[in-house]
Amino acid sequence: MLEPELVIEAGRTERQYWRDLWRYRELFYFLAWRDILVRYKQAAIGIAWAVLRPLMMMAVFTLVSRRLKLPEGGVPYPVLICAAILPWQFFASAVAEAGNSLVENANLLTKVYFPRVIVPGSAVIVSLVDFLISTVLLAGVMAWFHVWPTWRIVAMPLFLTLAFAAAAGLGLWFAALNAKYRDFRYALPFLIQLGLYASPVLYLSSLTPEKWRLLYAINPMVGVIDGFRWSVGAVDFHWPTFLVSCASAALLLFSGVQNFRRMERGLADLL
Amino acid sequence: MSGSAIQVEGLSKRYWLDQRPRERYVALRDVLAGAAKGFVRRLSGRGGSATRDEFWALRDLSFEIPRGEAVAVVGRNGAGKSTLLKILSRIVEPTAGRARIRGRVASLLEVGTGFHPELTGRENIFLNGAILGMRRAEIRRKFDDIVAFAEVERFLDTPVKRYSSGMYVRLAFAVAAFLEPEILVVDEVLAVGDATFQKKCLGKMGEVTAAEGRTVLFVSHNMSAVTQLCRKAIWLKGGKLQAVGDAATIVRDYLAHDAEQVAERTWDWPSDGPRKAPGDDRVRLLAGRVFQDAELSGVIDINRPMEIEVEFQVLRPVRDLIAGCTFTNSLGTCLFNRCDWKPNQLGPGRYRKRLRIPAQVFAEDRVSVLIQLVFYDPDVGSVLQPDILHFETVDSDAESPVRGHFKGVWPGVLRLGLPWADAERIPDPAVP
């Protein structure tokens, strides 16, 4: 059986691209599997790391907020914080790892062909696995404070999908920028740090003035974190915010893919 | 099974050489600053354009490779061989022209690409297979064959960082060899590995083309491997096609006309151009030089000592850095290799190492030098640059040449001035 003819020509990769992506779909799994395996082989405390990081962050934030006497909403503060930290951690680590993934795998990318989007894509998946492990923490904290899940909890995967789209979109942007401008990686941690304060992790999004609320929701993590908090019964659902965040995440993902595809053609020459 | 496997028409690849030298990469701050300056310039009405030099790595290349044929690509360094392979394996995009490819392409541009030192042999087979485009079910089916070919059964669950370099290369080649692509693109993989395994690889590649009707595109500086393995050859010179034809003829012409003396080769670091120093984040090769009597020399008198100088930049503290040189004659026969096994512990900075070769080692020939900068534990090859220096070796009127007073052709690929002991008188049983 003959495989169809492949034509290599300037600016012609588009046609085969999505077909190749499907053909290489297992590589997503293998690259993510490699990174997870290596990470947990090297770390002495192994898998506990995924839980320990948000746990420490939660402890610090809870202490700070107790001092500041921030409003609690319907549930104890640790639950409120935990429901925000988990998606935030996922988002932040996915964006950071996807952003650095191309440069880190330069050796691979200059030697073998496969759809390049797999590299940042699998970096996001690695963070997702970490997130899934760390949900144990949320379950634990909720049980400890006797907050029992209602039917709302089933909506959580929806908000996770939103976070995934936003993280993948921004991660692709950063990966492309990072490959092109190597000093960008110095700006990356700073931007993520800034994002922490621009997202309602330490506080409730309802604290923002009503007239600014929709503008604020352009940060897709506003919709994600509000959604997670709503799922554990902490806040009320705010449709306009959620829809703005969804639109913004979709735009981010779409433009991220477009920009990445443009950059990708010359990638091997850049690295 | 007829028709062509690869059809290349007017293929060209252009690189831009930025005029700013010593620029390691494009920095965002420079781009922003440049944009601001350009804006101001435009406002003030003064037009200024940055000049850039273009460099054609490949220029208007056309050829056709029939299905089931093993074809070698020969040419000097910088002739465009690697660029051609990178375009055919879709790593870089051509600037103009097109290539039509029928069948799955697997490229072995470097063995062990994607191997992770922390993972075991078993895990790396799956990972590497997936990177090369194999499906999980396919890898599982061929797993036993791969392991048997690589001869690593006992070490399957050992992290590959504990493998010897021979085992590492064997495993890497085995994965690629069992990929069963319609077109196999091979670049200099045989520069590593022991002789037995090299023979096995050549055998496997020959088998692949002959029995299974697969097409092999083979780049090597080893001319005897080229003639052994390939019936046809493509000769590239300066990015252009010099000749296509019967491998033996092409190799002979190439050696006769395209050979060169290179007593010194240098690279730029930091740099991003085509003269970017080869290496990785540990070490970069800056220069290689051939010296005789403390002078750069492309012609070496075999009756006097000579030196090979290697200059390199260490980028972060390293231990177990091994510098080495492999010497190859014009037929592609490896004459010898000499590595420095001392535990070189070096901090960041520039270094120079010299290898002293005593008088009376080489025969009259044209010798190519491969320079390597590698590490052991784990085995990592940072630099492996074949064929970067060339020198002619000539005999001279020395005190006591190996050839004595004989002026004709002297046999042997080396001409070692080994000591003969004086004749000793021993008892003769025939004389009472």
Give the minimum alpha-carbon distance from B416 to chain A in angstroms, rounded to a whole number. Answer: 41
Mean pLDDT comparison of A123-132, A199-208, B180-189, B250-259, highest-scoring range: A123-132
Residue of B185 and B418 predicted with greater confidence: B418
Return all residues near B390 (Cβ < 8 A) that are at least 6 apart. Answer: B259, B260, B261, B262, B298, B366, B367, B368, B369
- Residues B213-224 have pLDDT tens digits of 788 888 876 666
Arithmetic mean of pLDDT over chain A:
86
Q: Please give the residue of chain A at the shortest CA–CA distance from B185.
A: A112
pLDDT bin (cut points 50, 70, 90) of residue A162 is: very high
pLDDT of residue B1: 45
Q: Please give the residue of chain A at the shortest CA–CA distance from B272.
A: A270
Average pLDDT over residues B272-294: 88
Average pLDDT over residues A264-268: 77
Give the minimum alpha-carbon distance from B363 to chain A in angstroms, rounded to a whole number. Answer: 38
Mean pLDDT comparison of A3-12, A243-252, B275-284, highest-scoring range: A243-252
At residue B314, the 3 state secondary structure works out as strand
Q: Residue B287 and residue B269: Cα distance in Å, rounded?
A: 10
Q: Which residues of A touch B28 (CB under 8 A)?
A: 177, 181, 183-184, 187
Task: Report CB contact under 8 Å: A108, B113.
Answer: yes
A2 has pLDDT over 60: no
Task: Report CB contact under 8 Å: A34, B15.
Answer: no
CB-closest option in A31, A112, A269 to B107: A112
Average pLDDT over residues B103-118: 76
Give the minimum alpha-carbon distance from B168 to chain A in angstroms, rounded to a whole number. Answer: 17
ipTM, two decimals, is: 0.80
pLDDT of residue B407: 65
B287 has pLDDT over 80: yes
> What is the number of other CB atoms lying within 10 angstroms of the CB of residue B203?
11
Arithmetic mean of pLDDT over chain B:
82
pLDDT bin (cut points 50, 70, 90) of residue B359 is: very high
On the CB side of B102, CA atoms within 13 Å amount to 17
Q: Please give the residue of chain B at the shortest CA–CA distance from A39.
A: B118
> What is the radius of gyration, based on Cα positions, of chain B?
25
pLDDT bin (cut points 50, 70, 90) of residue A245 is: very high
pLDDT of residue B164: 80
Task: Report CB contact under 8 Å: B100, A6.
Answer: yes
Rounded to 5°, angle at Cα B138 from B134 and B140: 115
Task: Report CB contact under 8 Å: B131, A13.
Answer: no
B6 has pLDDT over 50: yes
Which of B105, B125, B131 should we substitute to test contact with A (largest number of A Cβ atoms within 10 Å)? B131
Residue of A64 and A167 predicted with greater confidence: A167
B20 has pLDDT over 50: no
pLDDT of residue A1: 40
* HEC string for B40-93: HHHHCCCCCCCCEEEEEEEEEEEEEEECCCEEEEECCCCCCHHHHHHHHCCCCC
User: Is-contact A179 A101, C-beta < 8 A?
Assistant: no
Q: Residue B123 and residue B108: Cα distance in Å, rounded?
A: 19
pLDDT bin (cut points 50, 70, 90) of residue B22 is: very low
- Residues B128-174 have pLDDT tens digits of 888 888 888 989 999 998 899 888 889 999 988 888 877 887 888 78
A4 has pLDDT over 90: no
Both tokens assigned to B179? 């990929």
What is the percentage of chain B residues whose pLDDT exceeds 90? Answer: 22
B19 has pLDDT over 50: no
- Residues B176-189 have pLDDT tens digits of 778 777 888 887 65
- Residues A19-44 have pLDDT tens digits of 888 888 888 888 998 888 887 777 66
At residue B394, the 3 state secondary structure works out as strand
Q: Which of residues 169-228 of A touch B (CB under 8 A)?
A: 177, 180-184, 187
